[in-house]
A = this chain, B = another copy of it.
Amino acid sequence: MSHAHSLTPLDRVRVVVDCMGGDHGPSVTLPACKEFLASHPEADLVLVGIADAIAPASQWPRCTLVPCTEIVSMDDPIEVALRRKKDSSMRVAINQLKADADGKARGDVVVSAGNTGALMAISRYVLKTIDGIDRPAIASVIPNERPGFTTMLDLGANVDCSAEHLLQFAVMGSALVSALDGTAEPSVGLLNIGSEVIKGSDTIKQAGELLRAAANAGQLNYYGNVEGNDIFKGTVDIVVCDGFVGNVALKTSEGLAHMLTGFLRAEFKRHLMAKFAALVAWPILRHFKKRFDPRGYNGAALLGLQGLVFKSHGSADAYSFRQALGRAYDAARNRLPEQVHERIVETLRAAELPPKDEPVRPAA
């Protein structure tokens, strides 16, 4: 296996920001952008938003402002976002990744905290998928007890997946982890309800066969089946599942974490002795929060598109949005879309399926 690090990183990275997206819009995105610029001297920003709202950034260095006239709201139906709001900050931001008349794009990666469904639909419509990928997927990281992070996909873009889709997710996830963490051959597990190959639905069993075949052809570091608890054990670098299962697992975890921390907080508040204990336990609880706070690892990748899009949590604060900008920057710098494309071509070749000859759109 030799796909990792075969591409030179970009010298400069142009990060396009949908400044109007998310629950808080520019009041969160602009401060995050300012801090991000200060800590990333090799980044340039393209800020997209309503002219007045982004005006505070007009004098910032390494910063281009692109005004627009519309905003996709968090509850706009996908059809409205896609067909009626063609001058939205989200749409205009994604347009920056497309080559213009002289063949050049104006950005390398987009970050938006807007409505996930709209972001996926517009990205797919404007950018199209990489050749060999049927459906884009959403990938994010989850802290594990190794300690480290488990990358999981799909997290909700695709509710009914075929075995081939799951294989594509595995390939895209491998490229993502290689690009972001530098791991040459990250391990991949197939989320199932038991470790034996006979477990699971027919689709899952077929996916297991495809993944084993890809591993035998040297295209993937396939571990085998994993179960729900392996996500947090950190058994593998990447957990592959369909979007329905991934979304349920993620939201179930969020719900449990919320319940447990809420319980601890309430108990520590309830008793005088407990208040004292909380004081003494404070550094531990702070470390606990820091380690597991989802704000710290914000930024889900939309994978499989001819262009790089990152989704921030809608409720992100400036600290959290800055993490998403950082992840997007790293992925663009390490040329994630081209890595995904290379991996897909190799995997299809190994599977003796001829890839179509349409090339991936270069990132710049």
Residues of A within 8 A of B (CB): 143-145, 156, 159-160, 191, 193, 200-202, 204, 227-233, 241, 243-245, 247-260, 262-264, 267-268, 271, 273-274, 276-278, 280-281, 283-284, 287-288, 291-292
Contact = CB atoms under 8 A, between A and B. Distances in A.
B256 A257 contact: yes
Contacts of A231: 252, 255
Contact of A229 (B230, B254, B281, B288): B254
A244 B194 CA distance: 10
Contact of A193 (B233, B244, B271): B244
A253 B256 contact: yes
A268 B252 contact: no
A159 to B, nearest CB: 5
Given A201-B244, A292-B260, A252 B255 contact: no
A253 B228 contact: yes
Contacts of A291: 263
A292 B202 CA distance: 35
A271 to B, nearest CB: 8
For A191, A193, A252, A257, which residue has the most chain B Cβ atoms within 10 angstroms?
Answer: A252
Contacts of A258: 145, 229, 232
A248 B251 contact: no
Nearest to A278: B281
A262 B227 CA distance: 19
B251 A268 contact: no
Contact of A288 (B227, B264, B271): B264
A233 B283 CA distance: 28
Contacts of A273: 280, 283
Given A145-B263, A253-B256, A257-B260, 11 more contacts: A159-B201, A160-B202, A193-B247, A229-B251, A229-B252, A231-B252, A264-B288, A271-B283, A271-B284, A278-B281, A280-B280
Nearest to A147: B263
A250 B258 CA distance: 16
A248 B228 CA distance: 5
A228 B245 contact: no
Contacts of A191: 248
A277 B257 CA distance: 22
Contacts of A202: 160
Given A244-B200, A248-B249, A193 B159 contact: yes
Contacts of A232: 252, 255-256, 258-259
Contacts of A159: 193, 200-201, 204
